[in-house]
Amino acid sequence: MSSDSGYSNLIKPYNLRLQYTPAVIVLPTTNQHVQDAVVCAAQAGLRVQAKSGGHSYASFSSGGKDGSMIISLESFNSIALDSSSGIAKVGGGVRLGNLADGIWTQGKKALSHGTCPGVGIGGHSTHGGYGHTSRNWGLAMDAIVKADVVLANGTLITTSTTQNPEVYWGIRGAADSLGIVTNFYLLSRNAPSSITYFEVQWSGIWNTKASFTNTFLHLQDFAKNASVTDSRISFGVYMDGYGTFSPSGAFFGTVDEFNSKIKPEFIRGLTAPTNFIVQSYSWYDYLVKVSGASTIKVPLTGYDQHDTFFAKSLTVPESAGLTSASLGALYDYVKKGTSVDYYMIVNLYGGPGSAINSKNTDFAAYSDRDSLWVFQNYGIGADSMPFINGLNSAITTAQSQTSFGAYLNYVDPSLDAATAHKLYYGDAVYTRLLALKKSIDPKGVFWNPQAVGA
């Protein structure tokens, strides 16, 4: 309750731009505690949201409004690897850095997931979960083989392809609307002995529209070129208001193979980069490298990283890609200038052999299985919304013939519920999710402003 010591720290969201005051924060240590809390909330007429890592861009893990019940899974932090099956039982409050460290330490295993160590497994893996290993191994979601889920009536069920399969389908895409996952069962992989990291540093790409559009269109051609690109390579392009244009990524192969086969095609016909870094790392050292921190291990309590920002996403269908017109419009918009500090990251999802796009919406309630690129447009500061909205609009207006979508893990609080459902799920997936929601949570106990049924 608000009168308890520690309440103010517990309610502090990752995104300080969106701060809400929950009616109560529950700190369970057992499944039964979670079950009892959900029943209590339903009886009291409170909306419920789980908090895994608390990194929701829209502060939905704080309820998305005042007066909700927040069930913090901080104590659900165990990681237990079964060496014979390779399946890791992972608590719903485990953060990605601790997950990676745990399965490596216990059995030299690995999983596909994002690079930020403090992000919680709950929202990340149930809304996709992209990382630079995803084109080779799939999304974090794709490793979930089973899950323990508390439903709105307080029952605890196990979900898999054979146990409650419709709930299993639905939580992989919309768990925030359907229940609380207290334990994930994740099929791990043998960690590679080494992985090749690469980073391209270019200067002058933003000097002219032709330079910018030609460079990006070449990278798009490279990404779709099956003679050089396969599932083993992933990359994203980092751009910001300071003229930065820097692709980086991972290659599941040797430095020699990258330098002889991939690097020449990556920069063919373009201005020579200022620097092209290609380096082999052990798996664990690679995880530390891309985390941007000195360690991937995160304290089990007292997590205290925050930002003030507004972000949007854009998923670009592989069938369309980005056109010279939309890239030119993006260039023109950026060149108008702004006082907002911002960045764009454009990650490759599709292309030849992509494990992300090898599945469809029958596999899980996740509709971004046909994307070539996914944008994250991130503006720092409380007043960044107009500029970031403009970034997205510049592209979509110039390429109006394309049906763009949005990525669930970069949740956009400025969208109304109907628009969010359309962009995140599409009509067919949302219709199926809504039927499931009405079946297992008819009173809408699990709620946020964009939840299924909201």
Ordered domains of the chain (ranges, CATH): 79-191 (3.30.465.10), 194-281+308-414 (3.40.462.20)
Residue pLDDT, tens place only, 108-124: 999 999 999 999 999 99
CA 394 to chain centroid, in Å, comes to 23
CA nearest neighbour of 192 among 137, 113, 117: 137
Half-sphere exposure of 343 (CA within 13 A, CB side): 9
Tell me 262's DSSP state. Answer: I
CA 291 to chain centroid, in Å, comes to 14
Confidence tier at 1 by pLDDT (50, 70, 90): low
Mapped onto helix, strand or coil, the DSSP state of residue 275 is: strand
Residue pLDDT, tens place only, 369-395: 999 999 999 999 999 999 999 999 999
- 327 conformational bin, left if phi > 0, alpha if psi -120 to 50, beta if neither: alpha
CA nearest neighbour of 392 among 334, 438, 432, 324: 334
* pLDDT score, position 9: 85
Given a cut of 80, whether residue 262 has pLDDT beyond it is yes
> For residue 107, which amino acid is it?
G
pTM of the predicted model over 0.85: yes
* pLDDT score, position 6: 78
Residue pLDDT, tens place only, 193-227: 999 999 999 999 999 999 999 999 999 999 999 99
Given a cut of 80, whether residue 2 has pLDDT beyond it is no
What are the structure tokens assigned to 204, written together? 């002058």
For residue 70, the cross-strand partners are 25, 49
